[in-house]
Structure 1
Protein backbone atom coordinates (compact mmCIF):
# COMPACT_ATOMS: atom_id res chain seq x y z
CA UNK A 1 0.00 0.00 0.00
CA UNK A 2 1.44 3.39 -0.93
CA UNK A 3 0.47 7.02 -1.33
CA UNK A 4 -0.98 6.40 -4.80
CA UNK A 5 -3.68 4.08 -3.41
CA UNK A 6 -7.25 5.18 -4.20
CA UNK A 7 -8.90 6.99 -1.34
CA UNK A 8 -11.59 5.09 0.53
CA UNK A 9 -15.22 6.11 0.85
CA UNK A 10 -17.13 6.11 4.11
CA UNK A 11 -15.97 7.03 7.57
CA UNK A 12 -12.28 6.67 8.44
CA UNK A 13 -9.93 7.26 11.32
CA UNK A 14 -6.85 9.15 10.15
CA UNK A 15 -3.60 9.20 12.07
CA UNK A 16 -0.07 10.32 11.34
CA UNK A 17 2.46 7.65 10.32
CA UNK A 18 5.58 9.35 11.68
CA UNK A 19 7.95 6.91 9.98
CA UNK A 20 6.56 7.34 6.45
CA UNK A 21 5.45 10.99 6.87
CA UNK A 22 1.99 10.18 5.58
CA UNK A 23 -1.45 9.46 6.98
CA UNK A 24 -2.90 6.06 7.68
CA UNK A 25 -6.61 5.78 6.96
CA UNK A 26 -8.41 3.05 8.87
CA UNK A 27 -11.90 2.11 7.60
CA UNK A 28 -14.65 2.46 10.21
CA UNK A 29 -17.39 0.88 8.07
CA UNK A 30 -17.80 -1.80 5.43
CA UNK A 31 -16.06 -5.10 4.86
CA UNK A 32 -12.62 -3.63 5.63
CA UNK A 33 -13.71 -2.10 8.95
CA UNK A 34 -10.76 -1.82 11.33
CA UNK A 35 -8.13 -2.20 8.57
CA UNK A 36 -5.76 0.42 7.19
CA UNK A 37 -7.02 0.94 3.64
CA UNK A 38 -4.80 3.80 2.39
CA UNK A 39 -1.65 5.74 3.24
CA UNK A 40 -1.89 9.04 1.38
CA UNK A 41 0.63 11.84 1.91
CA UNK A 42 -2.21 14.35 1.55
CA UNK A 43 -5.87 13.96 2.42
CA UNK A 44 -8.83 16.19 3.27
CA UNK A 45 -11.57 14.97 5.63
CA UNK A 46 -14.91 16.57 6.42
CA UNK A 47 -17.18 16.49 9.49
CA UNK A 48 -14.24 15.60 11.73
CA UNK A 49 -14.14 14.67 15.40
CA UNK A 50 -10.75 14.60 17.10
CA UNK A 51 -10.29 11.59 19.39
CA UNK A 52 -7.58 10.83 21.94
CA UNK A 53 -7.52 7.51 23.79
CA UNK A 54 -6.81 8.34 27.42
CA UNK A 55 -5.27 4.91 28.02
CA UNK A 56 -2.94 5.33 25.03
CA UNK A 57 -2.03 8.85 26.12
CA UNK A 58 -1.22 7.60 29.63
CA UNK A 59 0.96 4.77 28.22
CA UNK A 60 2.84 7.20 25.98
CA UNK A 61 3.61 9.48 28.91
CA UNK A 62 4.50 6.71 31.36
CA UNK A 63 6.65 4.62 29.01
CA UNK A 64 7.90 7.50 26.82
CA UNK A 65 7.19 5.31 23.78
CA UNK A 66 5.01 6.42 20.88
CA UNK A 67 1.81 4.52 20.16
CA UNK A 68 -1.19 5.30 17.98
CA UNK A 69 -3.80 6.80 20.28
CA UNK A 70 -4.95 10.05 18.60
CA UNK A 71 -7.17 10.23 15.53
CA UNK A 72 -9.14 12.53 13.28
CA UNK A 73 -12.38 10.71 12.54
CA UNK A 74 -14.41 11.82 9.52
CA UNK A 75 -15.25 11.24 5.87
CA UNK A 76 -12.71 11.48 3.06
CA UNK A 77 -13.41 14.44 0.80
CA UNK A 78 -10.41 14.73 -1.53
CA UNK A 79 -6.67 15.54 -1.59
CA UNK A 80 -6.86 19.30 -2.24
CA UNK A 81 -4.84 20.31 0.83
CA UNK A 82 -3.79 23.60 -0.79
CA UNK A 83 -7.39 24.86 -0.89
CA UNK A 84 -7.69 24.36 2.87
CA UNK A 85 -4.18 25.58 3.80
CA UNK A 86 -4.59 28.77 1.71
CA UNK A 87 -8.11 29.56 2.95
CA UNK A 88 -8.13 32.82 4.98
CA UNK A 89 -9.92 31.12 7.90
CA UNK A 90 -7.60 28.09 8.06
CA UNK A 91 -5.90 27.32 11.37
CA UNK A 92 -3.03 24.93 11.90
CA UNK A 93 -3.81 22.01 14.23
CA UNK A 94 -1.26 20.25 16.45
CA UNK A 95 -1.12 17.27 18.74
CA UNK A 96 1.75 16.52 21.10
CA UNK A 97 1.03 13.96 23.83
CA UNK A 98 3.83 15.31 26.01
CA UNK A 99 2.38 18.83 26.04
CA UNK A 100 -1.38 18.51 25.47
CA UNK A 101 -4.25 16.18 26.35
CA UNK A 102 -6.14 17.05 23.15
CA UNK A 103 -5.62 18.36 19.64
CA UNK A 104 -5.04 22.14 19.79
CA UNK A 105 -4.95 25.21 17.57
CA UNK A 106 -1.28 25.98 16.88
CA UNK A 107 -1.82 29.75 17.19
CA UNK A 108 -3.67 29.89 20.53
CA UNK A 109 -3.11 26.37 21.95
CA UNK A 110 -6.85 26.18 22.59
CA UNK A 111 -8.26 22.62 22.52
CA UNK A 112 -10.31 21.61 19.48
CA UNK A 113 -12.87 18.82 19.38
CA UNK A 114 -14.30 19.12 15.87
CA UNK A 115 -13.64 20.64 12.46
CA UNK A 116 -15.84 21.04 9.41
CA UNK A 117 -12.83 20.38 7.15
CA UNK A 118 -9.43 18.95 8.11
CA UNK A 119 -6.45 18.71 5.75
CA UNK A 120 -3.40 16.58 6.44
CA UNK A 121 -0.14 17.13 4.56
CA UNK A 122 2.52 14.79 5.92
CA UNK A 123 3.10 15.91 9.52
CA UNK A 124 1.25 19.23 9.11
CA UNK A 125 -2.49 19.76 9.38
CA UNK A 126 -4.95 22.58 8.84
CA UNK A 127 -8.64 22.98 9.64
CA UNK A 128 -11.67 25.11 8.88
CA UNK A 129 -14.66 25.53 11.16
CA UNK A 130 -13.03 24.34 14.37
CA UNK A 131 -14.87 24.12 17.67
Structure 2
Protein backbone atom coordinates (compact mmCIF):
# COMPACT_ATOMS: atom_id res chain seq x y z
CA UNK A 1 0.00 0.00 0.00
CA UNK A 2 1.37 3.39 -0.99
CA UNK A 3 1.69 5.92 1.83
CA UNK A 4 1.16 9.65 1.46
CA UNK A 5 4.96 10.03 1.77
CA UNK A 6 5.38 7.72 -1.25
CA UNK A 7 2.84 9.83 -3.16
CA UNK A 8 4.81 12.97 -2.30
CA UNK A 9 8.06 11.33 -3.45
CA UNK A 10 6.43 10.48 -6.78
CA UNK A 11 4.91 13.96 -7.14
CA UNK A 12 8.21 15.74 -6.41
CA UNK A 13 9.91 13.52 -8.99
CA UNK A 14 7.23 14.25 -11.60
CA UNK A 15 7.65 18.00 -10.97
CA UNK A 16 11.43 17.77 -11.33
CA UNK A 17 12.01 19.01 -7.78
CA UNK A 18 15.21 17.64 -6.27
CA UNK A 19 14.72 16.48 -2.68
CA UNK A 20 16.04 14.50 0.25
CA UNK A 21 13.83 12.60 2.66
CA UNK A 22 14.22 12.34 6.46
CA UNK A 23 16.90 15.01 6.85
CA UNK A 24 18.42 15.49 10.33
CA UNK A 25 18.70 19.11 11.48
CA UNK A 26 20.05 20.24 14.86
CA UNK A 27 17.78 22.58 16.78
CA UNK A 28 18.96 25.41 18.99
CA UNK A 29 18.00 23.27 22.01
CA UNK A 30 20.51 20.61 20.98
CA UNK A 31 17.81 18.18 19.91
CA UNK A 32 18.14 16.76 16.39
CA UNK A 33 14.89 16.95 14.40
CA UNK A 34 14.02 14.80 11.42
CA UNK A 35 12.54 16.97 8.67
CA UNK A 36 10.41 14.92 6.30
CA UNK A 37 11.67 16.60 3.12
CA UNK A 38 14.30 19.11 2.07
CA UNK A 39 13.72 20.39 -1.45
CA UNK A 40 16.20 22.22 -3.64
CA UNK A 41 15.19 24.66 -6.35
CA UNK A 42 17.21 27.55 -7.80
CA UNK A 43 14.97 30.11 -6.12
CA UNK A 44 14.81 28.50 -2.67
CA UNK A 45 15.42 25.56 -0.39
CA UNK A 46 12.45 24.34 1.62
CA UNK A 47 12.09 22.20 4.72
CA UNK A 48 8.79 20.33 4.67
CA UNK A 49 7.14 18.85 7.73
CA UNK A 50 4.48 16.29 6.83
CA UNK A 51 1.51 16.18 9.18
CA UNK A 52 -0.21 12.86 8.56
CA UNK A 53 -2.35 10.67 10.79
CA UNK A 54 -5.58 8.77 10.45
CA UNK A 55 -6.54 9.56 14.03
CA UNK A 56 -8.31 12.70 15.19
CA UNK A 57 -7.03 11.95 18.71
CA UNK A 58 -3.41 11.96 17.51
CA UNK A 59 -3.78 15.00 15.24
CA UNK A 60 -3.12 17.59 17.95
CA UNK A 61 -0.01 15.73 19.17
CA UNK A 62 1.31 15.65 15.59
CA UNK A 63 0.64 19.38 15.24
CA UNK A 64 2.31 20.24 18.55
CA UNK A 65 5.36 18.14 17.65
CA UNK A 66 5.73 20.04 14.36
CA UNK A 67 5.30 23.41 16.13
CA UNK A 68 8.10 22.46 18.54
CA UNK A 69 10.34 21.47 15.62
CA UNK A 70 9.59 24.64 13.67
CA UNK A 71 10.38 26.78 16.69
CA UNK A 72 13.57 24.89 17.59
CA UNK A 73 14.83 25.06 13.99
CA UNK A 74 13.90 28.72 13.43
CA UNK A 75 17.57 29.70 13.86
CA UNK A 76 18.16 28.21 10.38
CA UNK A 77 16.29 31.17 8.88
CA UNK A 78 18.97 33.53 10.19
CA UNK A 79 21.68 32.36 7.80
CA UNK A 80 21.90 31.55 4.08
CA UNK A 81 20.43 29.73 2.36
CA UNK A 82 17.44 30.79 4.41
CA UNK A 83 15.04 27.88 4.01
CA UNK A 84 11.30 28.19 3.63
CA UNK A 85 9.48 26.16 6.30
CA UNK A 86 6.40 24.32 5.02
CA UNK A 87 3.81 22.40 7.03
CA UNK A 88 2.15 19.95 4.65
CA UNK A 89 -1.12 18.56 5.96
CA UNK A 90 -2.38 15.24 4.62
CA UNK A 91 -5.94 16.48 4.52
CA UNK A 92 -7.20 13.36 2.72
CA UNK A 93 -8.11 12.24 6.25
CA UNK A 94 -10.66 14.47 7.98
CA UNK A 95 -8.80 14.70 11.30
CA UNK A 96 -7.49 18.28 11.33
CA UNK A 97 -9.18 21.20 13.06
CA UNK A 98 -8.84 24.90 12.24
CA UNK A 99 -6.61 25.46 15.26
CA UNK A 100 -4.11 22.86 13.97
CA UNK A 101 -3.61 25.03 10.88
CA UNK A 102 -3.41 28.20 13.00
CA UNK A 103 -0.77 26.70 15.30
CA UNK A 104 1.72 26.14 12.47
CA UNK A 105 0.90 29.10 10.21
CA UNK A 106 2.81 31.63 12.30
CA UNK A 107 5.99 29.56 11.88
CA UNK A 108 5.61 28.11 8.38
CA UNK A 109 3.75 28.21 5.09
CA UNK A 110 0.76 25.89 5.19
CA UNK A 111 -0.04 23.52 2.34
CA UNK A 112 -2.70 20.85 1.93
CA UNK A 113 -1.92 17.64 0.07
CA UNK A 114 -5.36 17.77 -1.59
CA UNK A 115 -4.12 20.91 -3.39
CA UNK A 116 -0.64 20.03 -4.69
CA UNK A 117 -0.62 23.07 -6.99
CA UNK A 118 -0.51 25.28 -3.88
CA UNK A 119 2.43 23.29 -2.51
CA UNK A 120 4.24 23.68 -5.83
CA UNK A 121 3.64 27.46 -5.76
CA UNK A 122 5.14 27.69 -2.26
CA UNK A 123 8.19 25.61 -3.22
CA UNK A 124 8.82 27.55 -6.43
CA UNK A 125 8.20 31.04 -5.00
CA UNK A 126 11.08 33.47 -5.16
CA UNK A 127 12.85 34.03 -1.87
CA UNK A 128 11.51 37.04 0.00
CA UNK A 129 13.83 39.84 0.96
Q: TM-score, normalised by structure 1?
A: 0.27
More strand by percentage: 1
Give 1 or 2: higher helix fraction. 2
Tell me which of the two structures has the higher relative contact order, counting C-alpha pairs closer than 8 angstroms and 6 or more residues apart. Answer: 1
